[in-house]
């Protein structure tokens, strides 16, 4: 890019009026300058920033995800979940922790001030100095992804050059519950009242309104477990999971046993349609949403290290992925699960792409009903979605899911190499929203050749179709 600007400057020197020109010519002269082209760099995909100003991910890790109240983290404090993944970002990149401009943690269920303190404590446990600030963010199930997006936006705005977006949830410590009374005014407005619907009821609403059958839902759950089991058995999660040394307390004797947790413990390799078909609906007597085709209630954490590309290159850090765009949208609270179907097209369009350009999708499986609906609504290739399983098998620790998905997506894109350039992460959000983000594989671009090759047409621009 610098060479191109230098060439522009040389050409402009030939175009500029001579030094003896009139004042009006001088005004004309001052209006001419060399700059980066704002039109983008390819017909198939456009850039919104100069190459070195790209916000990139240099590391992304997560804990294993464990069943709340009975899994491997049932006796682990939330701050002891977050600290190991924060520490891993620093240790595995050899980054000076004092260089981090901010740590933003997505988290949902814990009281705000308490969780903010726990996250600050976790940063100290992880080795960050007191000069590095910490804050939390809550956009319910998208909180972890929102944290990553907030950090990316802050880096783009120039607030700092290095930041961490993370996610944390201990659904053992903080179960889903409403505290205090509900404003009676809510009865006067249906949309507001629907914000209080149990998530399982919104799942039933999606299944009923869009004719998603029980068999479709159970089949999606079986596929999720089988893919997650295969990924675990082949070691595909090892690059993203940070082992956590903790303890398990025997509820009967109180005896503590030291353990190291490094494997997701909710995956059922032998899940079958016949077994899932025996489960009764949980939220509606004649419904189709069961414990087997819903996301698991889980404990876990994840963290993502972001910085400017120019800084990552100067430090010699490998670039795992490039943060391209993020979008959050609103939908009907009564069918909140349709959120990804609304958010994904917005984020993809913002990146100058089309759905067919996306090679991998990580769509959170809050419920099989909404997952199946979104897949069908967008016409997505099932072979591109949740290739290593999703939340029905791996788990859904609300605030951590977004960060977990970033780690899972980017490590899988790295494994696939040149056959996988663009990836999308998306999830539905309680009270009726959806969020989505577009990432590019880290080595998918370089300064001089950063356009996707188009072989299907010879038009100069996709706008000419």
Q: What tens digit of pLDDT does each residue of 368-405 get?
A: 999 999 999 999 999 999 999 999 999 999 999 999 99
Judged by average pLDDT, the poorest of 35-49, 248-262, 329-343 is 35-49
* 3-class state of residue 373 by DSSP: helix
Instruction: Answer yes or no: 420 catalytic.
Output: no
Contact criterion met (CB below 8 Å) for 266 and 260: no
- Percent of the chain beyond pLDDT 70? 85
- For the segment 266-276, the average pLDDT, to the nearest whole number, is 96
Average of pLDDT values for 241-257?
96
- In DSSP terms, 323 is beta-bridged to 55, 439
| DSSP annotation of 18 | P
| Residue pair 387/412 in contact by the 8 Å Cβ criterion | yes
Region of residue 418 (phi > 0: left; psi between -120 and 50: alpha; otherwise: beta): alpha
pLDDT of residue 352 exceeding 90: yes
DSSP state of 296: P
Q: Which of 62, 84, 56 is nearest to 408 (CA)?
A: 62
Within 22-129, strands assigned E span 55-62, 66-67, 102-106
Pairing verdict, β 162-170 and 102-106: parallel
Task: State the burial class of residue 377 (Cβ atoms within 10 Å of its Cβ: 0-12, 13-18, 19+).
Answer: middle
- The angle that helices 339-350 and 368-378 make with each other, rounded to 10 degrees, is 40
Instruction: Name the catalytic one among 66, 119, 374, 428.
Output: 428
Mean pLDDT is lowest, of 18-22, 146-150, 263-267, 386-390, for 18-22
- Parallel, antiparallel, or unpaired for β 422-429 and 321-330? unpaired
Q: Say how far apart CA 453 and CA 418 lie, in whole Å.
A: 12
pLDDT at 177: 85
Catalytic residue of the set 66, 119, 141, 405: 141
Residue 15 has pLDDT above 90, yes or no: no
- E strand or H helix at 62: strand 55-62
Binned at pLDDT 50, 70 and 90, residue 19 comes out as very low
Domains and CATH numbers, the chain: 52-174+189-439 (3.40.47.10)
Give the number of other Cβ atoms within 10 Å of residue 218's Cβ: 23
pLDDT in the model for residue 51: 82
Going by C-beta distance under 8 Å and a sequence separation of 6 or more, which residues neighbour residue 427? 141, 142, 145, 339, 340, 363, 364, 366, 401, 402, 405, 434, 435
Region 441-447: what's the mean pLDDT?
Answer: 71
The answer to whether 35 touches 142, Cβ cutoff 8 Å, is no
178 falls in which pLDDT band (50, 70, 90)?
confident
What sign does the dihedral 318-348-86-315 (CA atoms) show? positive
The answer to whether residues 75 and 244 touch, using CB atoms and an 8 Å cutoff, is no
pLDDT at 210 over 70: yes
Query: Which one of 396, 405, 411, 420 is the catalytic residue?
Result: 396
Amino acid 29: pLDDT: 46
Active site annotation includes 141: yes
Query: What mean pLDDT do residues 273-287 have?
Result: 96
Query: E-strand spans in 236-378?
Result: 244-249, 256-261, 298-308, 321-330, 360-363
24 — pLDDT class (breaks 50, 70, 90): very low
Query: Which tens digit of pLDDT belongs to each residue from 48-86?
Result: 557 889 999 999 999 999 999 999 999 999 999 999 999
């Amino acid at each position: 890019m610098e060479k191109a600007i230098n060439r522009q400057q040389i050409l402009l020197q030939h175009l500029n009026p001579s030094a003896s020109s009139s004042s009006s010519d001088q005004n004309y002269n001052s209006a001419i300058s060399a700059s980066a082209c704002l039109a983008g760099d390819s017909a198939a995909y456009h850039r919104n920033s100069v190459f070195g100003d790209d916000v990139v991910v240099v590391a992304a890790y997560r804990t294993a995800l464990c069943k709340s109240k009975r899994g491997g983290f049932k006796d682990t404090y939330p701050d002891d979940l977050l600290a190991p993944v924060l520490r891993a970002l620093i240790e595995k990149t050899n980054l000076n922790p004092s260089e981090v401009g901010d740590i933003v943690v997505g988290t949902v269920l814990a009281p705000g001030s308490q969780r903010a303190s726990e996250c600050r404590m976790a940063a100290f446990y992880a080795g960050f100095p007191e000069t590095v600030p910490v804050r939390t963010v809550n956009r319910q199930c998208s909180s972890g992804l929102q944290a990553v997006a907030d950090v990316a936006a802050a880096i783009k705005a120039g607030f700092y050059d290095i930041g961490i977006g993370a996610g944390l949830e201990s659904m053992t410590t903080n179960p889903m519950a409403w505290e205090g009374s509900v404003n009676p005014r809510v009865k006067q407005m249906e949309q507001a009242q629907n914000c209080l619907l149990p998530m399982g009821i919104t799942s039933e609403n999606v299944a009923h309104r869009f004719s998603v059958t029980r068999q479709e839902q159970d089949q999606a759950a079986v596929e999720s477990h089988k893919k997650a089991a295969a990924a675990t058995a082949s070691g595909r999660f090892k690059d993203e999971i940070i082992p956590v040394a903790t303890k398990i307390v025997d509820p009967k004797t109180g005896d503590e046993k030291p353990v190291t947790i490094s494997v997701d413990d909710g995956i059922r390799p032998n899940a079958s349609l016949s077994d899932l078909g025996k489960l009764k609906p949980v939220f509606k007597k004649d419904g189709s949403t069961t414990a087997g085709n819903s996301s698991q209630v889980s404990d876990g954490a994840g963290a993502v290290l972001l910085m400017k590309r120019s800084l990552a290159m100067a430090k010699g850090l490998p670039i795992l992925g490039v943060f391209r765009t993020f979008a959050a949208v609103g939908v009907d609270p009564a069918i909140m699960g349709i959120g990804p179907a609304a958010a994904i097209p917005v984020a993809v369009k913002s990146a100058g792409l089309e759905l067919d350009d996306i090679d991998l999708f990580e769509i959170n499986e809050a419920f099989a009903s909404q997952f199946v609906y979104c897949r069908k609504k967008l016409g997505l290739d099932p072979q591109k979605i949740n290739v290593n399983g999703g939340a029905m098998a791996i788990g859904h620790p609300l605030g951590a899911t977004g960060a977990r998905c970033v780690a899972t997506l980017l490590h899988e894109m790295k494994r696939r190499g040149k056959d996988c350039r663009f990836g999308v992460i998306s999830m539905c959000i309680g009270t009726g929203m959806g969020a989505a983000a577009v990432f590019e594989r880290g080595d998918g671009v370089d300064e001089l050749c950063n356009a996707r090759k188009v072989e299907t047409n010879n038009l100069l621009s996709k706008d000419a179709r």
